[in-house]
Structure 1
Amino acid sequence: MASSFMRSLRSGFGRQNEAPNVNTNQQRSNGSPNPSPTAYSSSTPSNNQSASSSSNMNSATDNVGSSAEAQAPPEPIKFFFFEQFAKLGVKGNFMPLAAQPTNVDLGEWLAHQTVEHFRLIGMFIQLIQEIDINTKKPICNAESCPKMTAGRHSYTWLDHNRLPISVTAHQYISLVQRWMNGKVHDPKAFPTDPLNGTAAAVASGGIGTPTGERSIPTGPTTLQASNAGSAGRQWPGKDAGFPETFIHDVRTCFRQIFRIYAHLYHSHWIDPFWHLSGPNNNQGWTDLNSCFVHFCSVAKLYGLLSDKDAEPMQPLIDIWVTNGSIPADAANGAHAVALSQ
């Protein structure tokens, strides 16, 4: 049930091997779902409640080669950019979840964060990939989401010839999942035993790499060889056996996770997340907020996302920076200097 899924998100964001089984159909078709915000007057925000303008969403291009439609019609109101819809499903300071613990190598910590946020976004992906009992299709399908978009931002994929191709949001998200699964299980990219240099690499999966990123480097099959000739250079994770390309890979992973979050908000905030919120609670969208603010705190603290990357969700991020949901040290990128290349 969806309630058990949401409870798992509230349990300290702890690591789990599998996401629980979820079923949003019952909650959406039980005859008493929470209506759309446009029909729910007690929750409909007024125009003067936004903490920041969404005008910066209208850029013509972004830094990944995707472009917005110059003459696109006005977008519907983005309720998640209003303060009353920026609240969280959990309370507390996210800094302890984001900050590197004492005596833990920075590479190990960033690898942990990458795997954990990949797990969390996977739980939300399950919700939009569930078959709707009325349409017999997933919530996110080729008709509802013919492109991978976040408002006016559109993302493409690179094919085998490194040419950008447009794919549906469902295909794009599936490709990201395959690509990241291959990446985090590749012992050259995310080593689990840095003393064992003979482990075979796992294929990255997918039909290419995300737009705007260079291909995964090919080359030596051992960790010792992959770091050969770099004795005079330092990078986060080097002492723990992570390759010189590690930070680039982490940033790519965070950029792709962000794009999925942005698509969830812009295309699926009403269905399923608003509809998961019963009339007496806000469980669906507040738990989405909780995971996303956790993700943003880590990304900003370590400089894993550029300002350009964050544009599709910047108004919501600004609210959280202002009200302290994103801790000040994270908002200021207190540890980003450690990742300078």
Structure 2
Amino acid sequence: MASFFSSVRQGFGRQSNKSNAQARGNGQNLPSPISQGSGSPLSANLPPVPHSPGPNSAMQFETDPGAEQQAPQQRKPPFFFREEYSGLIVKGNFMTLAAKPVHVEEGEWLAHQVVEEYRLLDNMIKIVKTVNEKTGAPICNPNSCPTMSAAGHTYTWLDQQKRPIKIPACQYIMLVQKWIEGKFDDRNTFPTDNKEPSSGLSSGLSTPGAGTPIAAGPTNVSASLSSLAGKDWLGKSSGFPEHFESDLKSIFRQMMRCYAHLYHGHWLEPYWDLGCTQYLNTCFIHFINVGRTFGMLGDREMEPMLPLIQIWEAKGLLQPPQSQSSKMDISPVTAAPPPGTAS
């Protein structure tokens, strides 16, 4: 487990002893979210989840009818939507981790970021894949999580006939991971080398490199500059395909759904039981910051986790959405340590 925590901390900066002690102390001093007399922590249930009003229908979820049975004033937010459980393993806001270096092309930067975000999410998913010694089954299994759900919403998968079907959360997450890793391994989507175009010329003539200007044919002098330059897209100058941005948004959307399920389905077991809710929070806030800063996520995708995001905004750990395009006051972070396949 120590090596796991070390892996999660990687990329969040150097860890100080003082911050380490504070990270451990914050978790230990909090009152246990498991009520006395509830029996084993493994059998504890989350409190009623607050109803989430009207997210975009493009998310294609189903609302749990039981969520309507309780009056709004009687509902209590789940533990992870309470300020006392919103702590992190790092200090400061997360804008410095997302800020693109001046001389790095945005497509290259986002390719690096999405791989890092997936690494952090994968570490969190590994925890719910751990086999429970008592049951002999993973913590997230078809019996405990028969559907991929979060905040009263059920996400569906498209079968081979493009029909939305409900599948267990563990199967949904496995398919998402397989799809994302397939994207990363696809050199047409995530090229790793600059490919020189084939010239078709006889040997002895040099082939121009990727950075060598090539003369264009005759053009109409009255044509617009944009038409003369050709169509542009995110990452074009770095060799990424035209569909790169849409692929990134699809990857972020699917990762967002995984995070939402991990919180709503497994915050108590196993994250609270293992004392690593702050690690989950730290991975998630970094993911939200990158996704929102570069327009990979909108409020509709983040809606199941919006109360927690708003807590971090109120604390100054995240910039409010309306401030993303303005000049941001960035404080350094110091360590306290597939399209068409899912609907």
Indicate whether the TM-score tops 0.5: yes
Cα deviation per residue 1:172-215 (whole Å; 9 max; x = unaligned)?
A: 000000000111111111111131579xxxxxxxxxxxxxxxxx
| Residue 303 of structure 1, aligned match among 279, 282, 295 | 295
Q: Which residue of 2 aligns with 1:64?
A: 59
Correspondence 1:27-176 to 2 at 5 A? 37-39=33-35, 57-59=52-54, 62-72=57-67, 74=70, 77-176=77-176
Which 5+ residue runs of structure 1 have no aligned equivalent?
Answer: 15-33, 42-53, 199-222, 224-228, 278-283, 336-341
Q: Return the alpha-carbon distance in structure 2 between the equivalents of residues 241 and 126 of structure 1.
A: 33
Q: Which residue of 2 aligns with 1:319?
A: 311
- What is the TM-score when the length of structure 2 is the normalising length? 0.71
Please state whether the residue corresponding to 1:67 is helix, strand or coil. strand
Whether 2:312 is the aligned partner of 1:332: answer no
Task: Supply the AA of the counterpart residue of 1:296.
Answer: I
C-alpha contact 2:59 2:300 (8 A) present in aligned 1: no
Q: Which residue of 2 aligns with 1:30?
A: none
Structure 1 pair 83–105 and aligned structure 2 pair: CA distance change class (3 A): same
Cα deviation per residue 1:55-90 (whole Å; 9 max; x = unaligned)?
A: 561448742222112344557741010111111111
Q: Return the alpha-carbon distance in structure 2 between the equivalents of residues 327 and 69 of structure 1.
A: 32
Q: Return the alpha-carbon distance in structure 1 between the equivalents of residues 298 and 266 of structure 2.
A: 24
C-alpha contact 2:146 2:169 (8 A) present in aligned 1: yes
Please state whether the residue corresponding to 2:34 is helix, strand or coil. helix
Q: Which residue of 2 aligns with 1:256?
A: 254
Structure 1 pair 56–70 and aligned structure 2 pair: CA distance change class (3 A): closer
Structure 1 pair 197–87 and aligned structure 2 pair: CA distance change class (3 A): farther
Q: Return the alpha-carbon distance in structure 1 between the equivalents of residues 317 and 287 of structure 2.
A: 12
Please state whether the residue corresponding to 1:267 is helix, strand or coil. helix
Please state whether the residue corresponding to 1:137 is helix, strand or coil. coil
Q: Which residue of 1 aligns with 2:4?
A: 5
Deviates more, 1:231-240 or 1:77-86: 231-240
1:9 Cα shift? 1.7
Q: Return the alpha-carbon distance in structure 2 between the equivalents of residues 160 and 196 of structure 1.
A: 37
C-alpha contact 2:12 2:90 (8 A) present in aligned 1: no
Larger radius of gyration: 2
C-alpha contact 2:145 2:170 (8 A) present in aligned 1: yes
Structure 1 pair 134–188 and aligned structure 2 pair: CA distance change class (3 A): same
Q: Which residue of 2 aligns with 1:273?
A: 271
Task: Supply the AA of the counterpart residue of 1:260.
Answer: C
Cα deviation per residue 1:287-321 (whole Å; 9 max; x = unaligned)?
A: 11011001111011011112111110000011111
Percent identity between matched residues is: 44
Q: Return the alpha-carbon distance in structure 1 between the equivalents of residues 55 and 183 of structure 2.
A: 31
Q: Return the alpha-carbon distance in structure 2 between the equivalents of residues 313 and 324 of structure 1.
A: 17
Q: Return the alpha-carbon distance in structure 2 between the equivalents of residues 145 and 118 of structure 1.
A: 22
C-alpha contact 2:56 2:300 (8 A) present in aligned 1: no
Task: Supply the AA of the counterpart residue of 2:291.
Answer: A
Correspondence 1:184-199 to 2 at 5 A? 184-195=184-195
Please state whether the residue corresponding to 2:60 is helix, strand or coil. coil
1:102 Cα shift? 1.4
Q: Return the alpha-carbon distance in structure 1 between the equivalents of residues 169 and 66 of structure 2.
A: 22
C-alpha contact 2:128 2:138 (8 A) present in aligned 1: yes
What is the CA RMSD across the aligned residues, in angstroms?
Answer: 2.7
Task: Supply the AA of the counterpart residue of 2:304.
Answer: P
1:8 Cα shift? 2.4
| Residue 245 of structure 1, aligned match among 239, 243, 246 | 243
C-alpha contact 1:94 1:294 (8 A) present in aligned 2: yes
Task: Supply the AA of the counterpart residue of 1:136.
Answer: G
Which 5+ residue runs of structure 2 have no aligned equivalent?
Answer: 14-29, 38-48, 199-209, 211-226, 327-343
Please state whether the residue corresponding to 1:310 is helix, strand or coil. helix
Number of positions where the alignment pairs a residue of Structure 1 with one of Structure 2: 267
Q: Which has the higher contact order (CA 8 A, sep 6+)?
A: 2
